[in-house]
Amino acid sequence: MLRFITTNTERNPVLLCLSLWVLFLSICISGTTPRLGAIGRKYGRSAMYSDDYKTFFYTQTLDHFNYRPESYETFQQKYVINFKYWGGATVSAPIFVSLGAEASIDGDVAGIGFLSDNAPQFKALIVFIEHRYYGESIPFGSREEAFRNASTLGYFSSSQALADYAEVITSLKKNLSADYSPVIVIGASYGGMLASWFRLKYPHIAHGALASSAPVLYFDDVAPEYGYLSIVSKDYRETSKSCYDVIKQSWSVIDSVASDENGLAILSEKFKTCSPLNESSELKDYLGSIYTESAQYDAPPKYPVTLICNAIDGAPRGSDILSRVQSGVAAYKGKRNCYDMGEFTGTAETDQGWRWQTCSEMVMPIGDDGKDTMFQASPFDLKNFSRSCRSRYNVEPRPHWILNEFGGKDIKLVLRQFASNIIYSNGLRDPYSSGGVLESISDNVVAITTDKGSHCLDVLHKSWDDPKWLVEQREAEIQIIKTWIDEYNVLRMIQTSKAHRLAR
């Protein structure tokens, strides 16, 4: 069911006109927290895209907010353009810009199809801009040097990234003589947060923003602390209560087996681990990661939560709890000779970069009280989290900074006063929707939700077998964007006409 969520005092806007991987830190689920990837792990840096996309590099300023000599250092920032559908500057054809998140943009170009699927009807230029410190957009000459210590990582922030995007877009429009081409920024997950913040911070550059699955409220105490894992559990409980019960019981069974002599060896054999388990938390982290990832990306046509629960419920009669759980693992990961318990804790560029971001400003207090979920209790502990960040980077996290910089508290009241042209889209089966904007704030700061939607599903490539509710969601978003562009063009024509009259 497609929903335009409005407050009691606002009109429904439809009547008016509509990274990839999972990363883990010591926060929840026996020491794990899910990363904000837009498209799961389907696409990586090796993803290929068509010859219609041309790669460019912009000489970017290292530090936009200081005037010390070192602030004027530069690095090469990657961006990709598709000119195929663009109507050109002479007709003020729009520019769709995808704001890169915590990964190389190669995966975005291949996987985020919203731009290419809709550019033809808008005659839009397509642009993907890479986030600093990811992909090929690395300051200080190399990844090793850029990640050497907190001094070189100190330029790695969302505010610097937004300023990067502002420079690239402004320069691009100037080079294309496209001063009057309206820019619509599009982002998914962390990129969706950046898109909404970009519209708020740079409204003179972006005319509108589509923020897909953007948990802009998952900071400090604005969103429910246990929201993420509550929705994961709800997804499983609604899919199969018996499956939910098996998973909920499995944690204590794992702990009980692990406490016995040779218990870890028994668990290693039962779950076919590639290396012997050193402690039960390795297995619990791995299982927790499977459950959170499957819920976050519970998308058609496979619906991984259903896949896992069907395997757990369909295990041979008499199977014990751990055998049922292992059946779920095999269904999700495929039958293998062994399963790598460290699969979700890699050292790829995304893992490396997001660890810094969460230890500096992206502090999301995800935890669990163990009362209304299928997980063991693991509340967020800022002191322990800060201790791990100091150990790793010798920096103290700033848990309040994002709300100070971009807002979030009393968001309905605040954004109603000055914000416009933002779509916040969320699928309510996405655990991160618990930190999303789920009610429209005004006629043109609009929330669109779908009961069955998952993380960032609306911005992925459309398919012939997409369910009706997903098709309607995308059509609704396109209709809103069309209205923004039409209003922009009318206003521009009025201003041009006034200017001509004054010049006579």
* pLDDT string in tens for the chain (504-residue length): 555 554 433 333 222 232 333 333 333 343 445 667 666 654 444 456 788 999 999 999 999 999 999 999 999 999 999 999 999 999 999 999 999 999 999 999 999 999 999 999 999 999 999 999 999 999 999 999 999 999 999 999 999 999 999 999 999 999 999 999 999 999 999 999 999 999 999 999 999 999 999 999 999 999 988 999 999 999 999 999 999 999 999 999 999 999 999 999 999 999 999 999 999 999 999 999 999 999 999 999 999 999 999 999 999 999 999 999 999 999 999 999 999 998 887 668 888 999 999 999 999 999 998 888 999 999 999 999 999 999 999 999 999 999 999 999 999 999 999 999 999 999 999 999 999 999 999 999 999 999 999 999 999 999 999 999 999 999 999 999 999 999 999 998 888 777 767 776
pLDDT at position 50, please? 82
| Residue 209: DSSP 8-state | E
Same domain? For 413 and 381 the reply is no
Residue 31 lies in a domain: no
Count of C-beta atoms within a 10 Å radius of residue 48: 9
Given 398, 416, 437, which residue is the final one in a domain?
398
Q: Are 35 and 22 in contact (CB under 8 A)?
A: yes
Residue 133 lies in a domain: yes
Residue 504 lies in a domain: no
Same domain? For 378 and 455 the reply is no
Q: Residue length, the chain?
A: 504
Q: Which residues contact 283 (CB under 8 A, 6 or more apart)?
A: 254, 267, 271, 273, 277, 341
Same domain? For 335 and 427 the reply is no
Q: 388 lies in which domain range?
A: 228-398
Residue 455 annotated as catalytic: yes
Residue 67 lies in a domain: yes
pLDDT at position 43, please? 40
Given 398, 425, 460, which residue is the final one in a domain?
398
Residue 246 lies in a domain: yes
Same domain? For 309 and 387 the reply is yes
pLDDT at position 22, please? 39
Strands 445-450 and 2-5: antiparallel
Q: Are 82 and 52 in contact (CB under 8 A)?
A: yes
Instruction: Of 162, 256, 261, 157, give the one whose Cα is nearest residue 209.
Output: 162
Strands (E), 385-433: 422-427
Q: What distance in Å separates the CA atoms of residue 482 and residue 200, rounded to the nearest whole number?
A: 20
Q: Are 164 and 129 in contact (CB under 8 A)?
A: yes
Same domain? For 345 and 269 the reply is yes
Cis peptide, bond prior to residue 139, ω within 30 of zero? no
Instruction: Of 482, 486, 484, 402, give the one whose Cα is nearest residue 121.
Output: 482
Which helix (H) or strand (E) is 127 found in, with range?
A: strand 125-129
Q: What distance in Å separates the CA atoms of residue 452 and residue 433, rounded to the nearest whole number?
A: 12
Q: What distance in Å separates the CA atoms of residue 424 and residue 439, rounded to the nearest whole number?
A: 9
pTM: 0.92
Same domain? For 344 and 391 the reply is yes
pLDDT at position 39, please? 60
Residue 64 annotated as catalytic: no
Left (φ > 0), alpha (ψ -120 to 50) or beta: where does 392 sit?
A: alpha
**Structural domains in the chain (count):** 2
Given 371, 398, 425, which residue is the final one in a domain?
398
Q: Are 315 and 323 in contact (CB under 8 A)?
A: yes
Residue 439 lies in a domain: yes
Q: Which residues contact 396 (CB under 8 A, 6 or more apart)?
A: 386, 389, 390
* CATH code assigned at 307: 1.20.120.980
Count of C-beta atoms within a 10 Å radius of residue 401: 18
* CATH code assigned at 83: 3.40.50.1820
Same domain? For 102 and 178 the reply is yes
Same domain? For 393 and 419 the reply is no
Same domain? For 315 and 166 the reply is no
Report how far apart, in Å, the C-alpha atoms of 138 and of each of 17, 30, 161 are.
Answer: 43, 33, 12
Strand partners, 75: 60
Residue 446 lies in a domain: yes
Looking up tokens 């309607």 gives 472
Choosing from 430, 433, 442, 458, the catalytic residue is: 430
Same domain? For 410 and 394 the reply is no
Q: What distance in Å separates the CA atoms of residue 323 and residue 328, rounded to the nearest whole number?
A: 9
Q: Which residues contact 310 (CB under 8 A, 6 or more apart)?
A: 240, 331
Class of residue 82 by CB neighbours under 10 A (exposed 0-12, middle 13-18, buried 19+): buried
Half-sphere exposure at residue 498, Cβ-oriented, CA atoms within 13 angstroms:
6
Choosing from 189, 196, 250, 425, the catalytic residue is: 189
Q: What distance in Å separates the CA atoms of residue 281 and residue 29, rounded to the nearest whole number?
A: 9
Same domain? For 387 and 455 the reply is no
Class of residue 266 by CB neighbours under 10 A (exposed 0-12, middle 13-18, buried 19+): middle
Choosing from 19, 30, 455, 458, the catalytic residue is: 455
Half-sphere exposure at residue 202, Cβ-oriented, CA atoms within 13 angstroms:
23
Residue 430 annotated as catalytic: yes
Same domain? For 245 and 270 the reply is yes
pLDDT at position 183, please? 98
Q: What distance in Å separates the CA atoms of residue 327 and residue 267, rounded to the nearest whole number?
A: 14
Q: What distance in Å separates the CA atoms of residue 46 and residue 131, rounded to the nearest whole number?
A: 17
Which helix (H) or strand (E) is 81 found in, with range?
A: strand 74-82
Six token digits for residue 47: 């993803």
Residue 36 lies in a domain: no
